[in-house]
């Protein structure tokens, strides 16, 4: 069928409301309408859908759109019906998958047979069903569109075996032009797809994969959580996606962000459909700024103003990475792509591969090696990525990735690589990276000693550098294919043929001075917990401290409350270190709960802001991270039990602690600003008159919250009674 340029533009406008085509959409569409096969390589957000949607509306018959995600089909069909303003838009597009009821299927069939439907979305497993094949045989097919076509290839990052049967089914149903579309084709995947679909003669439409507005950065993953919180706080109000590999991590990180005042929602396949949809909606409607997700999130998500994509865990392949980072800055605006990387994560991913078929392992290993090589490279990241997709990027410096902005040093590593190889050979290729690196660096530990390797002639030949350096040399040897790693055999390092050639006839090899990527992980939340809190002995700005004490004493007189009830000394000291200027920041100071911040904080932050401004003070940019574990399980249990008026003795028994320990915990709860009501227990444990005396003492006489002082001043009261009333007092007055 032929269609004029004017007609096509008119249809674009009437059906979709767009004034012009994007990139090479028009060429692709004209080609398809003309009856040719098309293979479309276009980055995420490029506008692939339109390449089959518009022709489907122009051509006689119905187009079959094969798409992998059942969940997205409904969205796409709804969006299309929304777009296409015709009287029978309800019939114009349908989807066929396992989620439909019998009646719904009948409706779809009726529309198809009546020729009312122009686009039918099908999941590959529904397409191959016999009854569907039989039905589709009876209608006129305009063409087949295979979206996310990389799912066909084992080398793609999202291989789906069902995709392999598409070709066979299509020939059963009947011949029609084919358009295959993908955003993630390396040359290898590309050839796989074409061969598999029998469309090697198709015209290939390849757009540039360069996304000039995206900024790429790889960071060492040693303090990732803190850095993420800091980054998000510096980018307040912007939308972003954080990818994690496991559901558990998604949950944890989302919670941590929320505890730190960031509106984040989790998204992963383990959540029920309603929660998932609600969380996704919150993100799209900007009720939440951040979505923390597994890679299950994002396919087909079309939010144009995602400003950052963070990979908390290293992705499994560069294709996945490119697809996911591609969701940033679709509107052409800012898009920061930050990946946290360490070797432990790579090892974890390698472990997942153990026991899988060798061919799959080989593929997975190579894909991962490409990631390692990308992460550790000192080259322009844009250049590496584009090269990976078979595209040449002519410049050497893109000016928009960490390597171009902060170049890393290089050195000739010939000698170092030879040491490594000599050691590998002398140890008969029987050891792993860390062990080899330890021997070269001359690190003697029990493992080394158990092999007597501290007496090895090469022990310590490279002791001018540490284990990390040597491990990096080995990793770069892997990337250069001089070395190989046997994943099934615990990652033993061997030498490849290419490596043997180098060993026999060495030549210069440029290695990168590592920006230190840690071997470990920040999973262990200790990195947050153990960081010394300001104020833990530290002293702050003495002038500010004096001012704050004055503010406190004024306030104390005004409110007729003892100063220490308002803010304790350690709280004020923290303020004199952290210079908080918002209630939110104030909340990060020791002993300042939300309640206290709200109740008494206003005056303090006002004074601090003025002080900061007048004295040109650079506030510490290191953001205090509130840990989820702050309210440890025990504390939460105690708070809940007290809410349920559980006798203290029972709480002690349940948590295996004595009364003193319980009171310590409760004091720490109220001191950090949480309000609890323990009257039910005080009524049982303390005489009412005593209670009032002690309460009045704290309210009117006490000079501090010191228990010792109170015991001394009050004379002969039981310590437990005093403590209980003091808790009541702090909770009621302070919080």
CB of 28 to ligand ADP, least distance (A): 11
Give backbone dihedrals phi and psi of 418, rounded to 5 degrees, phi first. -65, -40
Instruction: Say which entry of ligand ADP, Mg ion, none residue 675 contacts (CB below 5 to 8 A, set by partner kind).
Output: none
Residues 615-644 that bind Mg ion (CB under 5 A): none
Q: Which is nearer to ligand ADP, 299 or 572 (CB)?
A: 299
Query: Is 47 a residue that touches ligand ADP (CB under 6 A)?
Result: yes
Q: Using CB under 6 A, which residues numbered 16 to 35 contact ligand ADP?
A: 18, 21-22, 25
- Binding residue for ligand ADP (CB under 6 A) from 32, 45, 227, 266? 45
**Contact range with ligand ADP by CB under 6 A, out of 38-46, 107-115, 247-255, 418-426:** 38-46
Contact 93, 77 (CB under 8 A): yes
Between 31 and 48, name the residue whose CB sits nearer to Mg ion: 48
Shortest Cβ 340–Mg ion spacing (Å): 27
One DSSP character per residue, 536-567 reads SS----HHHHHHHHHHHHHHHHHHT--HHHH-
Please give the residues from 263 up to 302 whose contact with ligand ADP meets the rule CB under 6 A: 302
The least CB distance from residue 143 to Mg ion, in Å, is 17
**26 versus 345: smaller Cβ distance to ligand ADP:** 26
Stretch that binds ligand ADP, among 47-55, 429-437, 630-638, 656-664 (CB under 6 A): 47-55
Burial class (CB in 10 A: 0-12, 13-18, 19+), 19: exposed
SS3 call for 493: strand
Rounded least distance, CB 187 to Mg ion, Å: 21
User: How far apart are CB 50 and ligand ADP at their closest, in Å?
Assistant: 4
Q: Does 486 bind ligand ADP (CB under 6 A)?
A: no
Q: Mind giving me the DSSP string for 260-323?
A: TT--EEEE-TTS-HHHHHHHHHHHHTTSSSEEEE-TTS-TT---TTEEEEEESS--SSHHHHHH
Least distance (Å) between residue 24 CB and ligand ADP: 11
**CA pair distance 176, 42, nearest whole angstrom:** 23
Which CB, 278 or 296, lies closer to Mg ion?
Answer: 296
CA distances from 251 to 232, 257, 328 (A): 17, 10, 22
From the list Mg ion, ligand ADP, none, pick the one residue 44 interacts with, judged by a Cβ distance below 5 to 8 Å according to partner type.
ligand ADP
Find the binder of ligand ADP among 29, 49, 224, 674 (CB under 6 A).
Answer: 49
User: Which of 44, 67, 142, 186 forms a contact with ligand ADP (CB under 6 A)?
Assistant: 44
Min dist CB 199 to Mg ion, Å, is: 19
Size of the site for ligand ADP (CB under 6 A): 14
- Alpha carbon dihedral 407, 412, 416, 420, in 10-degree steps, equals 80
Helix axes 381-388, 358-376, angle to 10 degrees: 150
Question: Is residue 50 near ligand ADP by the rule CB under 6 A?
Answer: yes
Closest CA to 435 of 458, 413, 412, 410: 458
Q: How far apart are CA 316 and CA 295, in angstroms?
A: 10
The H or E element spanning position 322 is helix 318-325
Instruction: Give the number of other CB atoms < 10 A from CB of residue 358.
Output: 9
Spatial separation of the C-alpha atoms in residues 154 and 152, rounded to whole Å: 7
Residue 203 near residue 36 (C-beta atoms within 8 A): yes
3-state DSSP helix/strand/coil % of the chain, to nearest 5: 50, 10, 35
Residue 44 beta carbon to Mg ion: minimum distance, rounded to whole angstroms: 7
Residue that has been written with the tokens 């007597």 in this structure: 452
Interface mask (CB under 6 A) for ligand ADP, residues 297-336, using x and -?
-----x----------------------------------
Q: How far apart are CA 454 and CA 468, in angstroms?
A: 18
The smaller minimum CB distance to ligand ADP, of residues 49 and 186, is found at 49
Interacting residues with ligand ADP between 183 and 212 (CB under 6 A): 183
Near ligand ADP in 144-183, by CB under 6 A: 183
Which residue from 28, 38, 46, 694 is in contact with ligand ADP, where contact means CB under 6 A? 46
Based on CB atoms, which residue is closest to Mg ion, 326 or 540? 326
Strands 483-486 vs 410-412: parallel, antiparallel or unpaired: unpaired
How many alpha carbons fall within 13 Å on the CB side of residue 654?
15
Cβ contacts of residue 300 below 8 Å, gap of 6+? 69, 72, 75, 76
Of positions 32, 38, 41, 42, contacts ligand ADP by CB under 6 A: 42
**22 contacts which partner out of Mg ion, ligand ADP, none, CB within 5 to 8 A by kind?**
ligand ADP
Binding positions for Mg ion, 22-61, rule CB under 5 A: 48
- Cα dihedral 332, 46, 300, 3, rounded to 10, equals 140
Pairing status of strand 93-96 against strand 119-122: parallel
Nearer to Mg ion, 76 or 196 (CB): 76
Point out which residues bind Mg ion (CB under 5 A): 48
Residues of this chain that bind ligand ADP (CB under 6 A): 18, 21-22, 25, 42, 44-50, 183, 302
């Amino acid at each position: 069928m032929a269609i004029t340029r004017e007609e096509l533009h008119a249809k674009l406008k009437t059906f979709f409301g767009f004034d012009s085509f994007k990139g090479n959409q028009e060429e692709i569409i004209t080609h398809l309408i003309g009856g040719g096969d098309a293979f479309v390589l276009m980055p995420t957000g490029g506008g692939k859908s339109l390449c089959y949607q518009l022709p489907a509306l122009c051509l006689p018959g119905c187009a079959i759109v094969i798409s992998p995600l059942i969940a997205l089909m409904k969205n796409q069909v709804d969006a299309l019906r929304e777009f296409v303003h015709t009287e029978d838009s309800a019939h114009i597009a349908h989807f066929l998958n396992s989620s439909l009821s019998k009646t719904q299927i009948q409706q779809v069939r009726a529309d198809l047979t009546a020729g009312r439907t122009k686009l039918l979305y099908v999941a590959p497993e529904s397409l191959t069903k016999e009854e569907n094949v039989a039905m589709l045989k009876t209608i006129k097919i305009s063409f087949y569109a295979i979206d996310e076509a990389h799912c066909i290839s084992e080398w793609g990052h999202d291989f789906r075996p069902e995709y392999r049967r598409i070709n066979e089914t299509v020939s059963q149903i009947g011949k029609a032009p084919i358009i295959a579309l993908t955003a993630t084709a390396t040359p290898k995947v590309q050839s796989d797809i074409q061969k598999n679909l029998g469309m090697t003669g198709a015209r290939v439409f390849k757009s540039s994969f360069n996304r000039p507005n995206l900024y790429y950065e790889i960071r060492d993953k040693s303090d990732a959580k803190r850095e993420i919180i800091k980054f998000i706080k510096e980018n307040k109000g912007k939308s972003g996606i954080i990818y994690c590999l496991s559901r558990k991590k998604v949950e944890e990180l989302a919670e941590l962000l929320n505890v730190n005042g960031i509106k984040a929602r989790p998204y992963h396949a383990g959540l029920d459909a309603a929660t998932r949809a609600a969380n996704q909606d919150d993100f799209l409607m900007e009720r939440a700024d951040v979505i923390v997700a597994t890679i299950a999130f994002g396919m087909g998500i079309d939010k144009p103003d995602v400003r950052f994509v963070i990979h908390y865990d290293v992705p499994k392949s560069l294709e996945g990475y490119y697809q996911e980072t591609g969701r940033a800055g679709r509107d052409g605006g800012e898009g920061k792509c930050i990946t946290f990387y360490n070797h432990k994560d790579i090892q974890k991913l390698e472990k997942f591969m153990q026991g899988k078929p060798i061919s799959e392992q080989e593929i997975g290993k190579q894909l991962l090696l490409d990631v390692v090589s990308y992460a550790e490279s000192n080259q322009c990241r844009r250049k590496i990525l584009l090269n990976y997709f078979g595209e040449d990027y002519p410049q050497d410096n893109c000016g928009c990735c960490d390597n171009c902005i902060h170049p890393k040093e290089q050195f000739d590593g010939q000698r170092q690589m030879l040491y490594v190889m000599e050691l590998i050979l002398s140890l008969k290729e029987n050891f792993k990276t860390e062990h080899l690196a330890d021997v070269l660096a001359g690190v003697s530990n029990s493992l080394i000693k158990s092999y007597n390797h501290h007496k090895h002639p090469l022990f310590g030949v490279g002791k001018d550098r540490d284990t990390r350096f040597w491990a990096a040399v080995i990793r770069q040897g892997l990337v250069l294919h001089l070395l190989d790693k046997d994943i099934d055999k615990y990652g033993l390092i061997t030498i490849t043929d290419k490596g043997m050639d180098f060993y026999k006839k060495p030549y210069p090899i440029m290695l990168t001075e590592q920006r230190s990527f840690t071997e470990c992980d920040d999973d262990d939340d200790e990195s947050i917990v153990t960081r010394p809190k300001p104020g833990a002995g530290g002293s702050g700005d003495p002038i500010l401290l004096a001012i704050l004490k004055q503010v406190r004493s004024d306030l104390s007189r005004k409110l007729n409350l003892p100063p220490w009830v308002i803010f304790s000394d350690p709280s004020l000291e923290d303020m004199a270190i952290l210079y908080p200027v918002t209630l939110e920041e104030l909340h990060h100071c020791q002993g300042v709960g939300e309640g206290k911040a709200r109740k008494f904080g206003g005056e303090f932050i006002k004074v601090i802001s003025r002080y900061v401004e007048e004295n040109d003070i650079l506030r510490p940019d290191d953001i205090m991270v509130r840990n989820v574990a702050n309210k440890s399980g025990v504390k939460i249990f105690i708070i809940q039990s007290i809410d349920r008026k559980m006798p203290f003795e029972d709480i002690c028994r349940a948590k295996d602690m004595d009364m003193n320990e319980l009171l310590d915990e409760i004091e720490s709860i109220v001191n950090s600003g949480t309000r609890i009501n323990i009257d039910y227990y005080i009524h049982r444990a303390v005489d009412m008159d005593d209670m009032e005396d002690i309460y009045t003492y704290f309210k009117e006489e006490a000079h501090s919250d010191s228990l010792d002082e109170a015991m001394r001043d009050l004379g002969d009261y039981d310590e437990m009674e005093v403590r209980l009333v003091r808790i009541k007092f702090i909770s009621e007055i302070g919080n």
